[in-house]
Amino acid sequence: MSAARFLERGADELGRAGIAEARVEAELLLRHALGCTRESLLARLQEPVPAEATGHFFQLVERRRGRVPVQYIIGTQEFYGLSFRVTPAVLIPRPETEGVVEQTALAFENARAPRIADIGCGSGCIAVALAHTLRDAELVAIDRSKAALAIARENALRHGVVARVELLESDLLEAVADSDLDAVVSNPPYIPDEELAGLEPEVTEHEPRDALSGGADGLDVIRRLVPQAHRALRPGGMLVLEIGHGQSQAVETLLREAALLHERTVPDLAGIPRIVIARKL
């Protein structure tokens, strides 16, 4: 059977299971089973699939039909133009989070050796992307999960920035000294528990709940993080936070209470206020 026919069958099975991007994901799974690039697959669509890859492909399809995220099945996710290893120990990087990297990189593009901490780093996507973009920056990737820090280290090694990414096991900024940082950046857990319960099974059954749940109103972690950021930042230091829908006013209040100056909130591509930027005076 040709690769094209395998794609058709895989996409059909995924579609019947309710997978929205069935064709795209079938291609990702077939590429993973074959161990080839997209260009290579497209060039050999009319060629037969080797026998050893046949069973593997349909095993992958069956896992995806069971609503295991495709990123966990193939073990990677693209973020900010880089490929990151992901496992169920870490949150799958989302496109919205690229805004944290963009805004931070813009602010520090001409800075000399800025020291930037990524709080709740998970896969390390923010810290590694910033280290890759800001070639003079020193990053601190912080998480309380040893498993997440191991993945973050692997991704720092993968992209050649491990010498500039310190890995620190800590609950938020508790292990960071006062006035030690030029920036604190984070995609914290911000989904309200009631909303989280209604999300798709890929999220609720497979991604780490601690990386998603922000408590009753989604702000439990942010309430703790904002005053800690004020303590850890140097004067003039910057806080860059990803937030959820409808949270911007509440977060601005938290910033004022912590004596941080709210500079702006940047919307995502859907127009939702998404990236909050504040500064320590």
Distance CA 163, CA 165 (A): 6
User: Given this model, what pLDDT does residue 1 score?
Assistant: 84
**Phi, psi of 227, rounded to the nearest 5 degrees:** -65, -30
Report the relative pairing of strands 115-119 and 138-143 from DSSP bridges. parallel
Distance CA 51, CA 178 (A): 60
Q: What is the 3-state secondary structure (H, E, C) of 32-77?
A: HHHCCCHHHHHHCCCCECCHHHHHHHHHHHHHHHCCCCHHHHHCEE
Residues 6+ apart with CB under 8 A from 168: 140, 141, 142, 149, 175, 176
The answer to whether 27 and 41 have CB atoms below 8 angstroms apart is yes
The residue ranges of the chain whose pLDDT is under 50 are: none
User: Given this model, what pLDDT does residue 44 score?
Assistant: 87
User: Given this model, what pLDDT does residue 38 score?
Assistant: 92
- The tens digit of pLDDT for each residue in 21-42 reads 999 999 999 999 999 999 999 9
| CA separation, residue 3 to residues 105, 224, 264 (Å) | 42, 52, 50
Question: Reduced to 3 states, what is the DSSP secondary structure of residue 25?
Answer: helix
Classify residue 56 by burial, with Cβ atoms within 10 Å: 0-12, 13-18, 19+: middle
Distance CA 41, CA 141 (A): 36
Token reading at 146:
């040893």
Residue among 106, 104, 84, 107 nearest 94 (CA): 84
- The tens digit of pLDDT for each residue in 204-216 reads 999 999 999 999 9
